[in-house]
Structure 1
Amino acid sequence: METTVARRPLLWLMLGVVWAATRVMLLLFVFKVVVFPGPDVTSDVSVIYHGWYDVLRGGTFPLQDVTWQYPPAAALAILSPGLLPFLGYAEAFFVLAFLADLAAFALLGYAGRRPGRTLAGAWVWVVGVPLLGPTVYARYDVMVTAVAVAALLAGARHPRVMGALAGFGAMLKVWPVLLLIGVRRRTSWVAAGVTVAVVAGVFWLAMPGAFAFLTFQRDRGTEVESLGSLVFHVARHHGWDGQVLLNYGSVEFLGPHVDIVSTAALFLTGAAFSWLLLWRLVAVRFRSSTAVDAAFTAVLLFTVTSRVISPQYLVWLVGLAAVCLCFRATRMRWPAALVLAACLVTVLEFPVWFAHVVASDTLGVTLLFARNGLLVAAAVTAAVRLWRSTVPPSARAPLPAQAERAEETPVSY
Structure 2
Amino acid sequence: MTLETLPPPTTAAPVYATWVRPGPLARASLPLTWLLTRAGMAVLLAFDGRAPLGTGGIAHEVYALYARWHTTLAHGAFPAGDPMWQYPPGAGPVLLAPGLIPGLTYFQAFVALTLAADALVTLALARVGSRSGRSWAGAWLWTLGLPLLLHIPLARYDVAVTAFAVFGLLLMARFPRTGGVLAACGALVKVWPALTLLGAPRGRTSREAWRAALASGAAILVVLAVAFRSPFSFLGEQGDRGVQIESLGGTVLALARRAGWPGHVRYRFGAMEYVGPYVSSVAAASLVGTAFAAALLLTWRVKARRWTPATPFDAALCAVLLFTVTSRVISPQYLIWLLGLGAVCLTSRYTTQRPVVAIVMAAAGLSSLAYPVLYSDVEAGTWTGCLLMLARNGLLLGGAVWSFRSLWKGTGE
What is the 5 A alignment of 1:311-330?
311-330=332-351
In the alignment, is residue 27 of structure 1 matched against residue 42 of structure 2? yes
CA contact (8 A) 1:31 1:91 kept: no
Distance 1:246 1:66 in 2: 12
In the alignment, is residue 85 of structure 1 matched against residue 102 of structure 2? yes
> What residue identity is the alignment partner of 1:310?
S
Which runs of no fewer than 5 residues in structure 2 stay unpaired? 1-19
> What residue identity is the alignment partner of 1:8?
G
In the alignment, is residue 55 of structure 1 matched against residue 72 of structure 2? yes
What is the 5 A alignment of 1:210-289?
210-289=231-310
In the alignment, is residue 170 of structure 1 matched against residue 187 of structure 2? yes
Distance 1:146 1:113 in 2: 19
What is the 5 A alignment of 1:61-72?
61-72=78-89
Against the structure 1 CA distance between its residues 309 and 33, is the aligned structure 2 distance closer, same or farther, given a 3 Å change threshold? closer
Report how far residue 235 of structure 1 moved: 1.4
Other-structure match for 2:54: 38
Distance 1:305 1:141 in 2: 19
Distance 1:153 1:59 in 2: 34
Distance 2:86 2:305 in 1: 37
Distance 2:259 2:296 in 1: 35
Other-structure match for 1:11: 26
> What residue identity is the alignment partner of 1:158?
F
What is the 5 A alignment of 1:184-203?
184=202, 185=205, 186-203=207-224
Distance 1:352 1:102 in 2: 26
Distance 1:240 1:390 in 2: 44
Q: Which of 362, 374, 380 is residue 341 of structure 1 equivalent to?
A: 362
Distance 2:225 2:103 in 1: 31
Cα deviation digits, residues 300-347 of structure 1 (max 9, x gap):
100111000000000000000000000011001000000000001001
Report how far residue 34 of structure 1 moved: 10
Report how far residue 85 of structure 1 moved: 2.3
When the two structures are aligned, how many residues end up with a matched partner? 389
In the alignment, is residue 154 of structure 1 matched against residue 171 of structure 2? yes
> What residue identity is the alignment partner of 2:80?
L
In the alignment, is residue 76 of structure 1 matched against residue 93 of structure 2? yes
In the alignment, is residue 357 of structure 1 matched against residue 378 of structure 2? yes
Which runs of no fewer than 5 residues in structure 1 stay unpaired? 393-413
Moved more, 322-331 or 199-208: 199-208
Distance 2:212 2:284 in 1: 34
In the alignment, is residue 369 of structure 1 matched against residue 390 of structure 2? yes
> What residue identity is the alignment partner of 2:105?
G
Other-structure match for 1:100: 117
Distance 2:313 2:383 in 1: 38
Helix, strand or coil at the partner of 1:121 = helix
> What residue identity is the alignment partner of 1:170?
A
Moved more, 85-94 or 304-313: 85-94
How high is the TM-score relative to the length of structure 2?
A: 0.92
Report how far residue 31 of structure 1 moved: 3.3
Give the root-mean-square deviation of aligned CA atoms: 1.4
Distance 2:25 2:283 in 1: 50
> What residue identity is the alignment partner of 1:372?
N
Distance 2:193 2:48 in 1: 34
Other-structure match for 1:408: none
Other-structure match for 2:327: 306
CA contact (8 A) 1:100 1:146 kept: yes
Moved more, 29-38 or 120-129: 29-38
Report how far residue 33 of structure 1 moved: 8.8
Residue identity over aligned pairs, in percent, reads: 44
Helix, strand or coil at the partner of 2:23 = helix
> What residue identity is the alignment partner of 1:312?
Q
Cα deviation digits, residues 31-80 of structure 1 (max 9, x gap):
34995611221000011101101111110011121110000010111111
Distance 1:353 1:32 in 2: 16
Helix, strand or coil at the partner of 1:38 = coil
Distance 2:274 2:49 in 1: 33
CA contact (8 A) 2:48 2:58 kept: no
Report how far residue 375 of structure 1 moved: 0.6
Distance 2:357 2:155 in 1: 23
Distance 1:218 1:164 in 2: 28
Distance 1:390 1:166 in 2: 23
